[in-house]
Amino acid sequence: MKINKNYLELEDSYLFSTIAKKVNQFVKENPDKDLIRLGIGDVTLPLAPVVVEAIKNAADEMGKKETFKGYGPEQGYAFLREAIQKYYSRKNVNLEADEIFISDGAKSDLGNILDIFGYENTVLVPDPVYPVYVDTNVMAGRKIIFADANEENGFLPLPDENVKCDIIYICSPNNPTGAVYTKDGLKKWVDYALKNDAVILFDAAYECFIKSEELPNSIYEIEGAKKCAIEFCSFSKTAGFTGTRCGYTVVPKELVKEDVSLHKFWLRRQTTKFNGVPYIVQKGAEAIFSEKGQEQIKENIAYYSENAKIIAETMDKKGIWYTGGKHSPYIWLKCPNNMSSWEFFDYLLNNIAVVGTPGAGFGKNGEGYFRLTSFGNREKTIEAMERFSKLF
């Protein structure tokens, strides 16, 4: 018996585990301090009422013989796939319903999709980056190279024609930086992928925060993307499904590599390794796309966007460089006074009892930067920024 020794190449401690350890120690030593958490990107507002009602109704259906559901289709029920299809059509993106696969969240599929690709592929990820992109490929033993995201390019790297890769990760709006690609920027990546026979894995988990029609919500708004891109999205940030777990992946039928349909490969993978998302959860997700559902989730998104604005305005007043905030729930700021990411983390924690996320945890280019999230309580966000303002 042999273990997968690629796991030995992973960092011993996940970024957020280290943060939790430091915070727990602080709370233990300072039980009277009012701690404000602007770190982990979990939502705080409850599910929309229309979603809760749909879940309740679905639960009632499961309690009756006439409407009980057993195993559902592994790729998702037609009612939800068609609702997502219509959502895309409103963005002038035409998809076939069976190109949409329902999952238990984007994080799962971003790792699982690697099953359909050979281990010899070279993977390109931006630095800084969401750790899951890197860790899932380390687990598989793939070669990983990095696209240099930095302050000079607004943390939106463009392809280098001298670099050859096979799988490309793009997240827009980006986690952790909050930066958003323009259509021209994404077009450059699509052109590069087509020229180099590469596949783009496009993470659109935060697309609901984009407020400008000039900025793309989906990579399929770019001509040629269906021939080279797979898109992942989640209801976690769109509708507060972080604890409910539901998302989807789009694999176009036009996406063919080595004369093989990747759509067919993904369907085969899912029908073999996945038994689908619960009917109750999918009915809740369907309610998001109703007229009332869209109204209610937009209220939640507006709430978080206002929090982001409050944080961004504080950075503006203090003359601190940052990206994100306007079209993203994240503010990515440059640590003041040349502090390192972890020095700044400790400084905020110990002086004003505010928790953020050190940029160094997202890659070497994250050193010297820091992520704050808008997914908190409004009053707590305001209080945190008042404390911040007095500190600098």
Which H helix or E strand runs over 351?
helix 341-352
- At 322, phi and psi to the nearest 5? -160, 160
Cα–Cα distance for residue pair 133/167, rounded to 1 Å: 11
Percent of the chain with pLDDT strictly greater than 70: 99
Residues 145, 139: Cα–Cα separation, whole Å: 15
The mean pLDDT of 107-123, rounded to a whole number, is: 97
Report the alpha-carbon distance of residue 42 to residue 40 in Å, rounded: 6
The span from the CA of 376 to the CA of 248, in Å, is 25
The 3-state DSSP class for residue 37 equals: strand
Distance in angstroms (rounded) separating the CA atoms of residues 387 and 392: 9
pLDDT band at 165 (very low <50, low <70, confident <90, very high): very high
**pLDDT greater than 90 at residue 270:** yes
Tokens of 283: 């009915």
Residue 317 has pLDDT above 80, yes or no: yes
Is there a contact between 61 and 69 (Cβ–Cβ < 8 Å)?
yes
Tokens 């609702």 correspond to 83
pLDDT tens by residue, 91-114: 999 999 999 999 999 999 999 999
So what's the pLDDT on residue 13?
Answer: 67
DSSP 290: S
Q: What is the largest CA-CA distance in the chain?
A: 66
pLDDT for 345: 97
Q: Could you tell me if 83 and 286 are in contact, meaning their C-beta atoms sit under 8 angstroms apart?
A: yes
Q: Where are the domains of the chain?
A: 5-47+293-391, 49-290
Residue 244 has pLDDT above 90, yes or no: yes
- Rounded Cα–Cα distance for residues 83 and 102 (Å): 12
CA distance 252 to 148: 29
Q: Do residues 88 and 335 lie in contact, with contact meaning Cβ atoms separated by under 8 Å? A: no
Residues 295/301/307/310 CA torsion (nearest 10 deg): -80
Dump pLDDT digits (tens) for 183-205. 999 999 999 999 999 999 999 99
Cα separation, 148 vs 156, in Å, equals 9
Residue 136 burial by CB count (10 A; 0-12/13-18/19+): exposed, middle or buried? Answer: middle
Q: Which residue has the higher pLDDT, 15 or 70?
A: 70
- State the chain's mean pLDDT as an integer: 96
Model confidence at 164, in pLDDT bands (50, 70, 90)?
very high
Q: Is the pLDDT of residue 14 over 80?
A: no
Which of the following CATH numbers is that of domain 49-290: 2.60.40.1930, 3.40.640.10, 3.30.2010.30, 3.40.50.300? 3.40.640.10
Nearest Cα neighbor of 134 from 269, 266, 15 is: 15
- The alpha carbon dihedral of 91, 291, 232, 45 has a sign of positive
Q: What percentage of the chain has pLDDT greater than the value 90?
A: 96
Looking at 197-340, list the stretches that DSSP marks H as alpha helix, in order from N- to C-terminal side. Answer: 236-239, 262-273, 279-288, 291-318
- Which residue matches tokens 């939790």? 20
Residue 298 CA to residue 140 CA, distance in Å, equals 39
369, 327 Cβ separation under 8 angstroms: no
Under the banding of pLDDT at 50, 70 and 90, the label for residue 245 is very high
Q: Quick check: 293 pLDDT over 70?
A: yes
Superfamily of domain 5-47+293-391: Aspartate Aminotransferase, domain 1 (3.90.1150.10)
Q: Which residues of 145-183 are buried (b: 16+ CB within 10 A; e: fewer)?
A: ebbebeeeeebbbebeeeeebbbbbbbbbbbbbbbbbee
Residue 327 confidence (pLDDT) = 97
| Token reading at 81 | 């796939």
Rounded to whole angstroms, the Cα distance separating 293 from 119 reads: 42
